[in-house]
Amino acid sequence: MDSSRLSQQLVFLAEADQLKRVLRRTSLIGGDRLENTAEHSWHFALMALTLAEHAPVALDLTRVLKIALIHDLVEIDAGDSFVYDTSAMADKAEREEAAAERIFGLLPADQATEYRALWDEFEAQETSEAKFAAAVDRLCGMLPNYKNCGGSWVEHGVSAARVAQRNAPIGAGAPALWEVARGWIDEAVECGWITSE
């Protein structure tokens, strides 16, 4: 056994544990506290596994699950950027790029290359797997807001138009899921949780 390889992997895994400390702006369903990014990544993976049959094409589900587990590791350094905060999103790409270099660089070279390629694939959203992953990631963020009567949408004054604009990529990766998401947005407006504009 290569002890230096194992040591690198353990250093990476200890660093990945820090994802549990990164708080998002979305409450858990029931609203008793904010979720952390590690919880989000787990729920994203579970949703992808459960909803894969609704993808418009056959997928390499293992690849989608790997993307789900890796896609937000950069938030250990870059933090979570609230998607409806334009100022927080302004330098997001640069912060996350630097974080990807450092965090994936902790791994042995072959794993660093694989994990970085998965992260880059998700960011580019060009493959069917990345498009579906992006769709599920967005739906994963919408679900607690819907179940919490508007949740962070209400708290931060986000309109239905903004929610629809931000989450429109769901349609590219999983049109059936976009129909559900549009229904949630419409219901949020009907219930008075958010305004249409």
Residue 20 inside a domain? The answer is yes
Structural domain tally of the chain? 1
Q: What is the mean pLDDT of residues 35-45?
A: 97
Residue 195 inside a domain? The answer is no
Residue among 80, 85, 43 nearest 65 (CA): 43
Token pair for 168:
């429109």
Q: What is the pLDDT of residue 55?
A: 97
- Confidence class for position 194, pLDDT limits 50, 70, 90: very high
Residue 77 inside a domain? The answer is yes
Q: What is the DSSP string of 100-117?
A: HHHHHTTS-HHHHHHHHH
Condensed to tens digits (0 to 9), the pLDDT of residues 94-104 reads: 999 999 999 99
195 in the Ramachandran plot: left (φ > 0), alpha (ψ -120 to 50) or beta?
beta
CATH label of the domain that carries residue 173: 1.10.3210.10
pLDDT at 39 exceeding the cut of 90: yes
pLDDT at 1 exceeding the cut of 90: no
- Token match 């270099």: residue? 101
Share above pLDDT 70 across residues of the chain, in percent, rounded to a whole number: 99
* Residue 57 · residue 112 · CB < 8 Å: no
Q: Tell me which of 145 and 81 has the higher pLDDT.
A: 145
Count CB-CB contacts under 10 A for residue 116: 17
Residue 197 inside a domain? The answer is no
Q: In the chain, count of helices (H) and strands (E)?
A: 12, 2
- Confidence class for position 81, pLDDT limits 50, 70, 90: confident
* Residue 77 · residue 99 · CB < 8 Å: yes
Which structural domain, as residue segments, surrounds residue 100? 3-190
pLDDT at 31 exceeding the cut of 90: no
* Residue 137 · residue 71 · CB < 8 Å: yes
- Confidence class for position 14, pLDDT limits 50, 70, 90: very high
Q: What is the mean pLDDT of residues 160-164?
A: 96
- Compute the distance between CA of residue 5 and CA of residue 2 in angstroms, rounded to an integer: 5
Residue 101 inside a domain? The answer is yes
Average model confidence (pLDDT) across the chain: 95
Q: What is the pLDDT of residue 88?
A: 73
What proportions of the chain, in percent to the nearest 5, are helix, strand and coil?
70, 5, 25
Condensed to tens digits (0 to 9), the pLDDT of residues 105-135 reads: 999 999 999 999 999 999 999 999 999 999 9
Residue 196 inside a domain? The answer is no
Q: What is the pLDDT of residue 197?
A: 83
pLDDT at 11 exceeding the cut of 70: yes
